[in-house]
């Protein structure tokens, strides 16, 4: 059971926290690992060698004697194995924490970080140590420290996340998305910042946030201050921000399993559908890219969504089957969209 726990749970954030707490409670002077474990191991080796020799002698004797002595030796070896289990676990604990401590320093200089990945077909909810909540959209990840420091609460987002930040005026909450960071003391907002997109979108439900630009010297400069119902698009290519007003919940309805589009270009709709269903959608006719689409999808399958799109827009489509690669994996489904 202990070995199974080390294999399956020791690497999780909860497991690391538990092991770290246990390790810190062991007095350093009372844990002389090398001397104790080496002597125990040598003693076990000696006992094993002695009884292996006796076992060879017993083979020449009658079956009853051999049976009795064999049972005796099994008990001895079982006891030896039980004695060996403790130093093995102790060594495992020792080196796990040596690695954990070194890894923590390597990751953040002073503290370890957790990284949560939301799979390509799921929405993941994360609870942070300060009481804040984060929902991660499909194919998104969040990196956050095991414990926030005394100056700020900083997380790193790749993809899309909906944040319900616990208020703390003394500890700003920072969402880092590459060269841009979203800063607040406590509010509710949505950030979409997929690495392969050329824009970063932020929609504010309530409270206030600052959009900051990271300068070459590492300092942050406030780029734009958002008010409730503000919606901003930061263009990575020209460093410009476009602002608008939120009139519905289309920018954050995804966390409830809904996709809402309001006069949105088909090109943008296709990107979101590709991530939502983990498929490769291609538009053949460039004239369709800016075709405005208004629709709401809840629990529909990919074929159902495409059929509805074909009804309300001048498109035709084809959905291909997945193909098997040489390594045994499968390609994504492909959806080809063309003008009807």
Global pTM value: 0.65
- Per-residue pLDDT, 109: 44
DSSP reduced 3-state for 266: helix
Q: Could you list the mean pLDDT of each consecutive 10-residue stretch along the chain, which spans 340 residues? A: 77 79 68 54 63 59 53 62 58 55 43 83 90 94 89 94 93 93 93 92 92 88 91 92 88 91 92 92 93 91 93 92 81 90
What is the token pair recorded at 201? 């979108």
298-318 burial, b at 16+ Cβ within 10 Å, e below that, comes to eeeebeebbeebeeebebebe
Q: Is there a domain that residue 266 lies in?
A: yes
Answer yes or no: do 273 and 176 share one domain. no
Answer yes or no: do 179 and 269 share one domain. no
- Per-residue pLDDT, 69: 57
Parallel/antiparallel/unpaired status of strands 230-235 and 199-206: antiparallel
Answer yes or no: do 156 and 213 share one domain. yes
- Per-residue pLDDT, 99: 47
- Per-residue pLDDT, 249: 85
Q: Is there a domain that residue 252 lies in?
A: no
Q: pLDDT for 142-182, tens place per residue?
A: 999 988 888 899 999 999 999 999 999 899 999 999 889 99
Give strand ranges (E) for 92-207: 113-118, 124-127, 133-136, 140-145, 153-164, 173-177, 180-184, 188-193, 199-206
Answer yes or no: do 101 and 122 share one domain. no
DSSP 87-110: HHHHHHHHHHHHHHHHHHHHHHSS
Instruction: Quote the CA–CA distance of 199 and 267 in Å, as a whole number.
Output: 14
Contacts of 190 (CB under 8 A, 6+ apart): 160, 161, 162, 163, 201, 202, 203, 205, 251, 252
Answer yes or no: do 135 and 234 share one domain. yes
């Amino acid at each position: 059971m202990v070995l199974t726990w080390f294999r399956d749970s020791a690497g999780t954030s909860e497991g690391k926290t538990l092991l770290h707490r246990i390790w810190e409670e062991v007095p350093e002077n009372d844990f002389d690992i090398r001397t104790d474990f080496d002597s125990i191991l040598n003693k076990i080796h000696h006992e094993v060698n002695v009884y292996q020799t006796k076992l060879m002698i017993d083979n020449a004797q009658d079956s009853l004697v051999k049976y009795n002595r064999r049972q005796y030796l099994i008990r001895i070896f079982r006891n030896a194995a039980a004695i060996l289990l403790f130093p093995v676990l102790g060594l495992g604990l020792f080196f796990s924490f040596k690695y954990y401590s070194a890894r923590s320093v390597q990751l953040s200089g002073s503290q370890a970080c957790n990284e949560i990945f939301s799979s390509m077909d799921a929405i993941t909810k994360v609870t942070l140590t300060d009481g804040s909540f984060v929902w991660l959209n499909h194919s998104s990840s969040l990196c956050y420290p095991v414990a926030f420091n005394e100056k700020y609460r900083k997380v790193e987002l790749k993809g899309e996340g909906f944040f319900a930040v616990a208020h703390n005026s003394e500890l700003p909450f920072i969402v880092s998305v590459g060269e841009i960071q979203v800063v607040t003391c406590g509010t509710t907002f949505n950030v979409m910042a997929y690495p392969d997109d050329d824009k970063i979108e932020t929609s504010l439900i309530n409270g206030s946030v600052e959009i900051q630009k990271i300068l070459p010297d590492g300092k942050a400069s406030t780029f734009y201050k958002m008010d409730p119902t503000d919606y901003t698009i930061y263009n990575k290519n020209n460093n410009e921000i476009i602002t608008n007003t939120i009139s519905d919940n289309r920018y954050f309805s995804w966390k409830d399993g809904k996709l809402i589009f309001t006069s949105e270009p088909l090109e943008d709709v296709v990107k979101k559908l590709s991530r939502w269903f983990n498929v490769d959608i291609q538009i053949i006719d460039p004239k369709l890219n800016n075709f405005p689409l208004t629709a709401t999808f809840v629990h529909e399958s990919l074929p159902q969504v495409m059929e509805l799109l074909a009804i309300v827009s001048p498109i035709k489509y084809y959905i291909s089957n997945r193909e098997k690669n040489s390594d045994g994996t499968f390609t994504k489904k492909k959806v080809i969209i063309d003008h009807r």
